[in-house]
Amino acid sequence: ATSRISGVKAFSLSGRSALSFRLRPLPRRLQISCAAKPETVNKVCAIVRKQLALPDDSAVTGESKFSALGADSLDTVEIVMGLEEEFGISVEEESAQSIATVQDAADLIEKLIAKKGA
């Protein structure tokens, strides 16, 4: 039988010997998130609008997914090239493939700029 008691699972095994034990929940891992500066996100939004030929008043935010904005793989490559040119960085192909949203791109840009300046 399995029951949940305030986030802790309790197990009991019955048979020849009665054995019971409790599993403690694992401590949550510390997650550090460094969100990009709003200026960086705004610049990325502008570049995405330009590369996808979207109207200036179109809703592009940090949460916007390139695919939802109508970008295909070629558009995404062109966006990354535009970002590299604008920010003076070089994005590895592996890193470029992990970019799905405007926020992903902005975070990666700031990480690369910080690495470049170090």
- 72 among known catalytic residues: yes
pTM comes to: 0.68
**Structure confidence at residue 25 (pLDDT):** 63
List alpha helices for the chain, DSSP H. Answer: 38-51, 73-87, 93-97, 102-117
Window from 15-24, 30-39, 93-102 with minimum mean pLDDT:
15-24
Average pLDDT over residues 91-118: 91
Which residue out of 57, 72, 104, 107 is catalytically annotated? 72
Express each pLDDT in 20-78 by its tens digit: 556 666 555 544 455 789 999 999 999 999 999 999 889 999 999 999 999 999 999 99
Residue 18, pLDDT above cutoff 50: yes
